[in-house]
Structure 1
Amino acid sequence: IRLASIHQQTKFLSGGNQQKVVIAKWLLTNPKLLVMDEATQGIDVKAKSEIYSIVRELAENGFSVIFISSEVPEVRRVSDRILVIADGEVVGEFKRGARQDEIMKKALSGKQEHLDNQVVS
């Protein structure tokens, strides 16, 4: 985390550094599970890459991380297992290395299947 001084307030840090502060605070609680929902939204590419590295390192060290993102390339980069969920139901499951087009196909067809099954009143 880059600071102008040790007295710099978090609210004046870049978005990426603010996210890293949040992750550090979570880790101080010795969690067994981290749920990260759109953790890289609105931050620059370098900060995203650093957060991906943090997530991978945590997973490699035994932490359970649920990484929620609407960006498939991001999910593929950090995940060992990918679940595609539509309307609260798992409609697809993939292992690390799955192709993006396969994941997107399931995500789009899962949403369509759920829309087709809805009753219009």
Structure 2
Amino acid sequence: AAVKRGIDWLQIRIGAPGDAVSTLSGGNQQKVVLAKWLMTEPRIILLNDPTRGIDVGTKQEVYRLMRALADQGAAILFYSTDYDELIGCCDRVAIMYGGRIVRELEGDELTETNIVASALNVDAATSANARAEGAHA
């Protein structure tokens, strides 16, 4: 029953019920992985480029799922290099460098321009610090 519910909720397109997951499209394979995790009813979900390599329609389904889970109280943390994805899906974006959060953007600040500027400022500041430290060595 839980498997059927996951297939229906995530709109996983399968051939026959006994088909191997490896025979599914990349997007449907991704949704199978999500369905397995969701059966555990997690409160925190960590995703790494959750829509990389999947078609536009499936991306929209994954976004819908992430929003539904967040609306149900789950915390969703994910890494993405897709600015549109970050802006469209996130309430808050943290820019990291060297394992540290160097800037957080939310609300009206959450734009592609601000994301790129934050990342570039981090790189420029880090390079300047490295040069300064090298000059003092």
Once superposed, what is the RMSD of the aligned Cα atoms? 1.6
Letter in 2 for 1:115: S
Distance 1:112 1:8 in 2: 51
Match of 1:83 among 83, 86, 94: 94
| Structure 1 residue 41 displacement after superposition | 0.9
Q: Unpaired runs of 5+ in structure 1?
A: none
Q: Cα–Cα, structure 1 residues 96 and 3, in superposed 2: closer, same or farther, change >3 Å?
A: farther
In the alignment, structure 1 residue 36 sits paired with structure 2 residue 47 = yes
In the alignment, structure 1 residue 100 sits paired with structure 2 residue 109 = no
Correspondence for 1:16: 27
Q: Unpaired runs of 5+ in structure 2?
A: 1-11
In the alignment, structure 1 residue 50 sits paired with structure 2 residue 61 = yes
Q: In 2, are the aligned partners of 1:82 and 1:94 still within 8 Å (CA)?
A: yes
Q: In 2, are the aligned partners of 1:79 and 1:96 still within 8 Å (CA)?
A: no
| Structure 1 residue 8 displacement after superposition | 1.4
Q: Find runs of 4+ consecutive structure 1 residues off by over 6 angstroms.
A: none
Distance 1:71 1:80 in 2: 15
Q: Percent identity?
A: 35
| Offset from partner CA, 1:72-96 (integer Å, 9 cap, x none) | 1111111111111111111211114
Match of 2:126 among 106, 114, 117: 114
Number of residue pairs the alignment of both structures matches: 121
| Structure 1 residue 18 displacement after superposition | 0.8
| Structure 1 residue 112 displacement after superposition | 2.5
Distance 2:127 2:19 in 1: 49
| Structure 1 residue 114 displacement after superposition | 2.1
TM-score under structure 2 length normalisation: 0.81
Q: In 2, are the aligned partners of 1:76 and 1:96 still within 8 Å (CA)?
A: no
Larger Rg: 2
Distance 1:96 1:53 in 2: 20
Q: In 2, are the aligned partners of 1:80 and 1:96 still within 8 Å (CA)?
A: yes
TM-score under structure 1 length normalisation: 0.91
Q: In 2, are the aligned partners of 1:33 and 1:64 still within 8 Å (CA)?
A: yes
